[in-house]
Amino acid sequence: MKPFEFTQGTLPLLLSIPHAGTALTPEVEQGLSEQAQGLPDTDWHIPQLYDFAREMGASVLVGNYSRFVIDLNRPPNNEALYATATTGLYPETLFDGTPTFKPGMTPTDDQRQGYLATIWTPYHEKIQQELARMKQQFGYALLFDAHSIASVIPRLFDGKLPDLNLGTNGGLSCDPSISEKLTDLCAAQSDFSWVMNGRFKGGYITRAYGKPQEDQHTVQLELAQINYMDETPPFSWRGDKAARLQPILKKIITTLLLR
């Protein structure tokens, strides 16, 4: 299994989708706990939801492996990104706190170093290569990191998550004008609740590649999954809901392109 799928576009925009993958290595597949075997923390259907961005001309990078193998949106040294509850580079628990692996069935350190070298590193090298290509061609580069999560996870956040959770690393990952335009866009509509730099300010990808001083701008969007799918197994796609959500997503992408 290749570590990712990549399609090069015609715009100065890279759409990164690190958590939609479901591929497993043999040792991870054998070791998963009963609760983890359905891959509940996957960003289900995100490539399908953002098909319109590919059609618009964005470059699209999609990780193939499950985050239970290695999390592409965590730093390679496994440094914690949030002071609150979270999961690491090699998730030992699910979002609800239950163990990811059966007792004694966690992959070895050597196996995980292999995942770092053959899955995590190629994904990030492709991000770097594509951003560099865009900057050479256009003079600037935009990175949109697309995520989703169940709308209610008491261990991670109180109550129900807003529908649209935009993150710019507290304003550090993109030019202030981008944040202002996205804020104005969200404030002008009433169909979806939203927040800027709330519980999800942006993971490693947003923080590592958002360099507005170099005209390289990054925004993360964490979607509440209830708006386009069923949040319970088998996590089915809901075309009726997705059709209502996609217009605002397209407006967000279009606004980002205005920079």
- Which pLDDT tens digit goes with each residue over 158-202? 899 999 999 999 999 999 999 999 999 999 999 999 999 998 999
Per-residue pLDDT averaged across 247-252, rounded? Answer: 98
The pLDDT, as a whole number, for residue 78 is: 77
In total, how many domains does the chain have?
1
The pLDDT, as a whole number, for residue 155 is: 84
The pLDDT, as a whole number, for residue 214 is: 97
Q: Is the pLDDT of residue 85 over 60?
A: no
Q: Rounded mean pLDDT of the chain?
A: 96
Q: Is the pLDDT of residue 39 over 80?
A: yes
The pLDDT, as a whole number, for residue 158 is: 87
CATH number, residue 71: 3.40.630.40
The pLDDT, as a whole number, for residue 84 is: 60
- Which pLDDT tens digit goes with each residue over 219-241? 999 999 999 999 999 999 999 99
The pLDDT, as a whole number, for residue 115 is: 98
- Which pLDDT tens digit goes with each residue over 12-34? 999 999 999 999 999 999 999 99
- Which pLDDT tens digit goes with each residue over 86-145? 678 999 999 999 999 999 999 999 999 999 999 999 999 999 999 999 999 999 999 999
**C-alpha of 244 from chain center:** 21
Distance CA 155, CA 106 (A): 22
pLDDT category at 82 given cuts 50, 70, 90 is low
- 3-state per-residue secondary structure call for 152-210: CCCCCCCCCCCCEEEECCCCCCCCHHHHHHHHHHHHCCCCCCEEECCCCCCCHHHHHHC
- Which pLDDT tens digit goes with each residue over 40-81? 999 999 999 999 999 999 999 999 999 999 999 999 997 777
- Bridging pattern class, strands 216-224 and 13-17: unpaired
Distance CA 133, CA 126 (A): 10
- Domain span at residue 60 reads 4-258
Phi, psi of 232 (to 5 degrees): -115, 155
